[in-house]
Amino acid sequence: MRVTDLRIALFSGNYNYVRDGANQALNRLVGYLLGQGAAVRVYSPTVDNPAFAATGDLVSVPSFAIPGRPEYRFPYRIPGDVRADILGFKPNIVQISSPDFLGQQAVALARRHDIATLASIHTRFETYLRYYHLGALAPLLNVYQRNLYRRCDAIVAPSESMADVLRAERMNDRIGIWSRGVDQQMFDPARRDMAWRRDLGIADDVPVIGFVGRLVMEKGVDVFAEAIARLEARGVRHAVVVVGDGPAREKFEELLPKAHFVGFQKGDDLGRAVASLDIFLNPSVTETFGNVTLEAMSCRVAVVAARATGSASLVVDGVTGRLVEPRAFDAYADALEHFCRDDSARRAAGRAGEERSAAYSWDAINQKIVDLYLELADQPAPGA
Residue 47 covered by a domain: yes
What tens digit of pLDDT does each residue of 146-178 get?
A: 999 999 999 999 888 888 889 999 999 999 999
pLDDT at 192 over 90: yes
Domain range enclosing 199? 189-357
Residue 383 covered by a domain: no
Same domain, 102 and 124: yes
| DSSP string over 139-174 | HHHHHHHHHHHTTSSEEEESSHHHHHHHHHTT--S-
pLDDT band at 126 (very low <50, low <70, confident <90, very high): low
What tens digit of pLDDT does each residue of 249-266 get?
A: 999 999 999 999 999 998
Q: What is the mean pLDDT of residues 318-346?
A: 96
pLDDT at 335 over 90: yes
Same domain, 166 and 251: no
Residue 174 covered by a domain: yes
Top pLDDT among 23 and 287 is at 23
Kindly state the percentage of the chain with pLDDT values over 70: 95
Q: What is the mean pLDDT of residues 56-81?
A: 92
- CB atoms inside a 10 Å sphere around CB 6: 21
Same domain, 31 and 65: yes
Residue 280 covered by a domain: yes
Same domain, 26 and 156: yes
Same domain, 276 and 352: yes
pLDDT band at 383 (very low <50, low <70, confident <90, very high): very low
Residue 366 covered by a domain: yes
The pLDDT of residue 68: 80
pTM above 0.75, yes or no: no
Same domain, 159 and 269: no
pLDDT band at 232 (very low <50, low <70, confident <90, very high): very high
Q: What is the mean pLDDT of residues 227-248?
A: 96
Q: Which residues contact 345 (CB under 8 A, 6 or more apart)?
A: 302, 338, 339
Same domain, 150 and 291: no
85 in helix, strand or coil? helix
Count of structural domains, the chain: 2
Kindly list the distances between the CA atom of residue 221 and the CA atoms of 276, 312, 358, in Å, as whole numbers in the listed order. Answer: 21, 19, 29
- CB atoms inside a 10 Å sphere around CB 347: 14
Kindly list the distances between the CA atom of residue 56 and the CA atoms of 8, 28, 59, 312, in Å, as whole numbers in the listed order. Answer: 11, 10, 10, 33
Mean pLDDT of the residues in the chain:
92
Q: Return d(Cα 366, Cα 92) in angstroms, integer.
A: 18
Same domain, 104 and 243: no
pLDDT band at 384 (very low <50, low <70, confident <90, very high): very low
Same domain, 353 and 217: yes
Residue 63 covered by a domain: yes
Residue 167 covered by a domain: yes
pLDDT at 368 over 80: yes
Same domain, 198 and 97: no
Q: What is the mean pLDDT of residues 351-375?
A: 92
The CATH number covering residue 83 comes to 3.40.50.2000
pLDDT at 309 over 80: no
Same domain, 298 and 372: no
Same domain, 169 and 235: no
Q: What is the mean pLDDT of residues 206-211?
A: 98
Residue 384 covered by a domain: no
Kindly state the percentage of the chain with pLDDT values over 90: 73
For helices 329-341 and 221-233, give the axis angle rounded to 10 degrees.
Answer: 60
By residue count, the chain amounts to 384
